[in-house]
Amino acid sequence: MFLIELARGMGTTLRMLFEKPVTIQYPEEKRPVHTRFKGRHSLHRYENGLEKCIGCALCAAACPADAIFVESSENTDEQRFSPGERYASTYEINFLRCIFCGYCEDACPTEAIVLGDNYELTFSDRREAIYGKDRLLVPVPPGGQPTPQQTEPGVFTRSIPVMENPKD
Protein backbone atom coordinates (compact mmCIF):
# COMPACT_ATOMS: atom_id res chain seq x y z
CA MET A 1 0.00 0.00 0.00
CA PHE A 2 2.81 2.37 0.94
CA LEU A 3 4.70 1.68 -2.30
CA ILE A 4 1.63 2.38 -4.43
CA GLU A 5 1.10 5.76 -2.79
CA LEU A 6 4.78 6.56 -3.12
CA ALA A 7 4.68 5.70 -6.84
CA ARG A 8 1.60 7.92 -7.36
CA GLY A 9 3.33 10.83 -5.61
CA MET A 10 6.49 10.41 -7.68
CA GLY A 11 4.36 10.23 -10.84
CA THR A 12 2.78 13.56 -10.00
CA THR A 13 6.21 15.06 -9.40
CA LEU A 14 7.52 13.80 -12.76
CA ARG A 15 4.47 15.14 -14.59
CA MET A 16 4.95 18.60 -13.07
CA LEU A 17 8.58 18.70 -14.21
CA PHE A 18 7.46 18.98 -17.84
CA GLU A 19 4.77 21.66 -17.35
CA LYS A 20 5.47 25.34 -17.89
CA PRO A 21 5.87 27.19 -14.56
CA VAL A 22 3.28 29.80 -13.62
CA THR A 23 5.65 32.47 -12.33
CA ILE A 24 4.72 36.14 -12.41
CA GLN A 25 7.48 38.73 -12.20
CA TYR A 26 5.67 40.74 -9.51
CA PRO A 27 6.88 44.33 -9.50
CA GLU A 28 6.85 44.61 -13.29
CA GLU A 29 3.82 42.40 -13.97
CA LYS A 30 0.77 42.45 -11.71
CA ARG A 31 -1.87 39.76 -11.62
CA PRO A 32 -5.40 41.15 -12.08
CA VAL A 33 -7.65 40.88 -9.04
CA HIS A 34 -11.16 39.43 -8.97
CA THR A 35 -14.16 41.76 -9.15
CA ARG A 36 -15.14 41.06 -5.54
CA PHE A 37 -11.63 41.63 -4.17
CA LYS A 38 -11.49 43.88 -1.10
CA GLY A 39 -8.31 45.93 -0.97
CA ARG A 40 -7.29 49.33 0.41
CA HIS A 41 -10.07 51.69 1.46
CA SER A 42 -10.75 55.07 -0.09
CA LEU A 43 -13.14 57.89 0.77
CA HIS A 44 -15.02 59.21 -2.23
CA ARG A 45 -16.37 62.62 -3.15
CA TYR A 46 -19.35 63.95 -5.08
CA GLU A 47 -18.75 65.38 -8.55
CA ASN A 48 -18.79 68.92 -7.14
CA GLY A 49 -15.88 68.13 -4.79
CA LEU A 50 -17.80 67.75 -1.51
CA GLU A 51 -16.98 64.69 0.58
CA LYS A 52 -19.55 61.92 0.66
CA CYS A 53 -18.71 61.07 4.28
CA ILE A 54 -21.17 62.74 6.67
CA GLY A 55 -19.43 61.62 9.86
CA CYS A 56 -22.16 59.25 11.02
CA ALA A 57 -19.60 56.66 12.26
CA LEU A 58 -21.72 53.69 11.14
CA CYS A 59 -18.62 52.24 9.52
CA ALA A 60 -16.79 52.36 12.85
CA ALA A 61 -19.74 50.69 14.58
CA ALA A 62 -19.87 47.92 11.96
CA CYS A 63 -16.12 47.21 12.06
CA PRO A 64 -15.54 43.96 13.97
CA ALA A 65 -11.82 44.70 14.41
CA ASP A 66 -12.35 48.24 15.76
CA ALA A 67 -9.98 49.56 13.11
CA ILE A 68 -11.91 52.73 12.19
CA PHE A 69 -12.06 55.94 14.21
CA VAL A 70 -14.46 58.73 13.18
CA GLU A 71 -14.87 62.09 14.86
CA SER A 72 -17.53 64.36 13.40
CA SER A 73 -17.93 68.13 13.44
CA GLU A 74 -20.63 70.52 12.31
CA ASN A 75 -20.57 72.11 8.86
CA THR A 76 -20.95 75.87 8.68
CA ASP A 77 -21.90 78.13 5.82
CA GLU A 78 -18.33 79.49 5.78
CA GLN A 79 -16.67 76.08 5.68
CA ARG A 80 -18.60 73.25 4.08
CA PHE A 81 -16.99 69.84 3.63
CA SER A 82 -20.04 67.60 3.00
CA PRO A 83 -23.63 68.24 1.93
CA GLY A 84 -25.10 67.27 5.32
CA GLU A 85 -25.11 68.98 8.70
CA ARG A 86 -21.95 67.15 9.82
CA TYR A 87 -18.71 65.96 8.30
CA ALA A 88 -15.92 63.68 9.46
CA SER A 89 -13.29 66.01 10.88
CA THR A 90 -11.13 63.01 11.80
CA TYR A 91 -11.27 59.75 9.88
CA GLU A 92 -8.60 57.12 10.53
CA ILE A 93 -8.23 53.46 9.58
CA ASN A 94 -5.64 51.28 11.27
CA PHE A 95 -4.59 48.80 8.58
CA LEU A 96 -2.78 46.63 11.11
CA ARG A 97 -6.17 45.88 12.67
CA CYS A 98 -8.30 45.86 9.52
CA ILE A 99 -9.40 42.41 8.33
CA PHE A 100 -10.76 43.73 4.98
CA CYS A 101 -14.21 42.25 5.58
CA GLY A 102 -16.11 45.05 3.84
CA TYR A 103 -18.64 45.64 6.64
CA CYS A 104 -17.72 49.33 6.68
CA GLU A 105 -18.54 49.58 2.99
CA ASP A 106 -21.90 47.87 3.53
CA ALA A 107 -22.80 50.07 6.52
CA CYS A 108 -22.08 53.41 4.84
CA PRO A 109 -25.38 55.14 3.90
CA THR A 110 -23.72 57.53 1.42
CA GLU A 111 -21.33 55.00 -0.19
CA ALA A 112 -18.42 57.18 0.88
CA ILE A 113 -16.02 54.38 1.84
CA VAL A 114 -15.13 51.85 -0.84
CA LEU A 115 -12.70 48.96 -0.70
CA GLY A 116 -10.71 49.12 -3.92
CA ASP A 117 -8.34 46.79 -5.73
CA ASN A 118 -5.05 48.08 -4.31
CA TYR A 119 -3.30 45.25 -2.48
CA GLU A 120 0.15 46.81 -2.16
CA LEU A 121 0.23 47.75 1.52
CA THR A 122 3.64 47.81 3.18
CA PHE A 123 4.62 49.58 6.36
CA SER A 124 8.02 50.08 7.93
CA ASP A 125 6.57 51.78 10.99
CA ARG A 126 3.36 51.22 12.96
CA ARG A 127 2.38 54.88 12.55
CA GLU A 128 2.46 54.51 8.76
CA ALA A 129 -0.28 51.86 9.00
CA ILE A 130 -2.79 54.41 10.30
CA TYR A 131 -4.27 56.14 7.28
CA GLY A 132 -5.86 59.51 7.93
CA LYS A 133 -8.36 61.39 5.87
CA ASP A 134 -5.56 63.03 3.89
CA ARG A 135 -4.43 59.64 2.53
CA LEU A 136 -7.90 58.11 2.14
CA LEU A 137 -9.71 60.87 0.22
CA VAL A 138 -9.67 60.56 -3.55
CA PRO A 139 -8.67 63.72 -5.44
CA VAL A 140 -11.26 66.11 -6.82
CA PRO A 141 -12.79 64.66 -10.01
CA PRO A 142 -11.65 66.23 -13.30
CA GLY A 143 -13.91 69.12 -14.21
CA GLY A 144 -15.19 69.29 -10.62
CA GLN A 145 -15.19 72.35 -8.46
CA PRO A 146 -12.43 72.96 -5.93
CA THR A 147 -12.72 71.43 -2.50
CA PRO A 148 -14.52 73.48 0.15
CA GLN A 149 -11.22 74.32 1.83
CA GLN A 150 -10.23 76.27 -1.30
CA THR A 151 -13.51 78.15 -1.86
CA GLU A 152 -14.18 81.63 -0.56
CA PRO A 153 -16.17 81.86 2.68
CA GLY A 154 -19.89 82.48 2.25
CA VAL A 155 -20.15 80.91 -1.21
CA PHE A 156 -22.96 78.63 -0.07
CA THR A 157 -26.25 80.48 0.40
CA ARG A 158 -28.04 77.59 2.14
CA SER A 159 -27.06 75.58 5.18
CA ILE A 160 -27.45 72.40 3.10
CA PRO A 161 -26.57 72.95 -0.58
CA VAL A 162 -28.75 71.36 -3.22
CA MET A 163 -27.00 68.43 -4.87
CA GLU A 164 -27.49 68.03 -8.59
CA ASN A 165 -28.56 64.61 -9.81
CA PRO A 166 -25.93 63.37 -12.30
CA LYS A 167 -28.60 61.42 -14.21
CA ASP A 168 -30.49 64.60 -15.22
Q: Please say if the pLDDT value at position 160 is more than 90.
A: no
For the stretch 32-42, pLDDT in tens is 899 899 999 99
Mean pLDDT across the chain, nearest whole number? Answer: 84
* Closest by CA position to 55, among listed 39, 40, 42, 69: 69
Chosen CATH of 40-138 out of 3.40.50.1360, 3.30.365.10, 1.10.110.30, 3.30.70.3270:
3.30.70.3270
Average pLDDT over residues 97-120: 94
Q: Please say if the pLDDT value at position 164 is more than 90.
A: no
For the stretch 47-99, pLDDT in tens is 888 899 999 999 999 999 999 999 999 998 888 888 889 999 999 999 999 99
Q: Please say if the pLDDT value at position 163 is more than 60.
A: no
Higher pLDDT, 9 or 141: 9
- The confidence score (pLDDT) of residue 22 equals 85
Letter string b/e over residues 73-95, b meaning 16 or more CB atoms within 10 A of that residue's CB? eebeeeebbbbbebbbeebbbbe
Beta bridge partners of 43: 113, 137
Amino acid identity at 42: S
Distance from C-alpha of 162 to C-alpha of 143, rounded to nearest angstrom: 19
Distance from C-alpha of 49 to C-alpha of 107, rounded to nearest angstrom: 22
Q: How much is the pTM? A: 0.72
Average pLDDT over residues 94-111: 94
- The confidence score (pLDDT) of residue 49 equals 85
Distance from C-alpha of 67 to C-alpha of 96, rounded to nearest angstrom: 8
Q: Please say if the pLDDT value at position 29 is more than 80.
A: yes
Higher pLDDT, 157 or 107: 107
- The confidence score (pLDDT) of residue 167 equals 57
Taking residue 57's Cβ as centre, other Cβ atoms within 10 Å add up to: 19
Q: Where are the domains of the chain?
A: 40-138
Q: Please say if the pLDDT value at position 137 is more than 70.
A: yes
